[in-house]
Amino acid sequence: MTTAQIRLRHVSKVFETQTMETHALRDISLTIYQGDYVAITGPSGCGKSTLLSVLGLLDSVTSGDYELDGVNLAQVSLDQMAQMRNLKLGFIFQSFNLIDELSVLDNVILPLRYAAKPLSKDEMYQQAKACLNKVGLSHREDHKPNQLSGGQQQRVAIARALVTNPEVLLVDEPTGNLDSKSGNQVMQLLGELNQQGTTICLVTHDYRYADMAKRKLQMLDGAILTHPVEETA
């Protein structure tokens, strides 16, 4: 686990409204390595989701540098950034964000329809079916999401995140809407994906789940309090 995949250097994020400025991230320097499993914890409002959005190229930084696989993102166009996001990153959120009108299989296929390199219909179906198999839901592929339990829906969302073969999974409170048994299953699945080589960055309020990661980062007021490994800023 030595190749740096993500490197933030002195990153800050300020949200400005007409009446106030919020310093959501303050001078964050952080390296995430290939195959890493990082859990981010901290009180409500400390900046965890903002950090994940920045890591996921869903939000820009106010200052500082972000390097993804050695590419400084300040030097790429918005189109290139969107391509890197689609190619390299997968997202899992607390709310499953599945489309109820589509079957489970069609939900999982969806990201492939927007891929830069379009696959044939057969390839898309094969890839989506393989991901559903990975999350143990092959037998539900023709169901609609609202015919599944919450835990099953989250596993569909995980299959959808995996279908583009992302190098990094960014995961925000994946168990927030689940009972503890389903939550444990989802966390076990994330652990297996990490063992198979996927880098994981997880935001969680649950310290039991944070303990499953290889490294824990604690945030407070937009800053990272603990650095279990030395950061090169």
Strand partners for 25: 13
Buried b (16+ CB within 10 A) or exposed e, 159-192: bbbbbbebbbbbbbbbbebbeeebbbbbbebbee
Residue 53 vs 152, nearer CB to ligand ATP: 53
Count of residues that bind ligand ATP according to CB under 6 A: 11
For 52, phi and psi rounded to 5 degrees? -65, -40
In what order do the strands lie in the sheet containing 223-224? 89-92, 168-172, 199-203, 37-41, 215-220, 223-224
- Residue 61 within binding range of ligand ATP, rule CB under 6 A: no
Residue 8 vs 135, nearer CB to ligand ATP: 8
Task: Please report how close the Cβ of residue 151 comes to ligand ATP at its closest, in angstroms.
Answer: 21
Span from 46-54, 72-80, 122-130, 150-158 in contact with ligand ATP (CB under 6 A): 46-54
Task: Please report how close the Cβ of residue 59 comes to ligand ATP at its closest, in angstroms.
Answer: 8
Span from 40-48, 77-85, 110-118, 192-200 in contact with ligand ATP (CB under 6 A): 40-48
Dist CA 41 CA 202 (whole Å): 9
Binding residues for ligand ATP restricted to 4-23, rule: CB under 6 A: 15, 22
Residue from the set 35, 47, 90, 166 that interacts with ligand ATP by CB under 6 A: 47
Site for ligand ATP, rule CB under 6 A: 15, 22, 24, 42, 44-50
